[in-house]
Amino acid sequence: MTIIYDTRSVTLRYLTKLIRNPTLFGTSLVEPLVFLVLFSQLFQNLGVFLPNVPGGYLPYLLPGIVIISALISSPQSGVSIANDLNSGFLSKMLLTQISRPAILLGRLLTDMVVVLLQCTVTIVAGIGMGVKVYYGLPGVLLMLLTVAFLEFAFSGIFLAVGMATRKTETINGVAGFLGLPLMFVSSAMFPTSFLPSWARTFSSFNPLSYAADAMRELVLGGFKLNALLDAYVYTGVIAVATLAATLYQFRKVIK
């Protein structure tokens, strides 16, 4: 089918462009790993407050860092589409017979491939540091599937912002504004019992908390299907909203 071929072509184009920038590719690949090592060392004493977590703070942190990877890598989609708009490359693509949905799908698929690479490196490193994934390889694969879906949802936000503003500075500003509260006011890095009451309330609506809690069960044991379904429902709501915003902005671009 044309859309499959065109999506593959767009994805390869973005991946090739990324690989040809080794500094960006290298830092993107190891950034979550740096977070894992840094935070696990800075807050290792928190393990004494987690008596039900075998191995201390590191096994608790690993799923959270995997989830955070989707958040910190998603702004690249907006930066990339803004650059394509400003350079005129997107206009040239629109003059061809390329499938219009493939332009967006190719960008989203690229982001998902990148986050899967990041998380694979991070999970393997975490296992090398002593983390034991309770559900083994199936648990790891389910973690990767979950973070890919979350990346799809978050990337849509920045695609919409990138097409609406065409300014990388604005994209980075929105990323900082959204990223830090979502990351720290969630259960990704700390149990919500550590948070003040207002933060626990915010965390109860934070999709990162649902995804991190579900993935943490895959690592620590005690997996419950309802927890994973909750994570997918909350992420799905975001995905639908961001995809609608992205499609709206894309229609304005291609007119």
- Start-to-end CA distance of the chain, whole Å, equals 25
The tokens for 17 are 């462009």
Which residue in 192, 216, 194, 176 sits closest to 71, CA to CA?
A: 176
Rounded Cα distance, 219 and 183, in Å: 20
**Tokens 């690989």, located at residue:** 19
Condensed to tens digits (0 to 9), the pLDDT of residues 235-245 reads 999 999 998 99
Q: What is the Cα–Cα distance from 140 to 34, expressed in whole angstroms?
A: 20
Mean pLDDT of the region 32-40: 92
What number is the average pLDDT over the span 33-47?
A: 89
Q: What is the pLDDT of residue 253?
A: 81
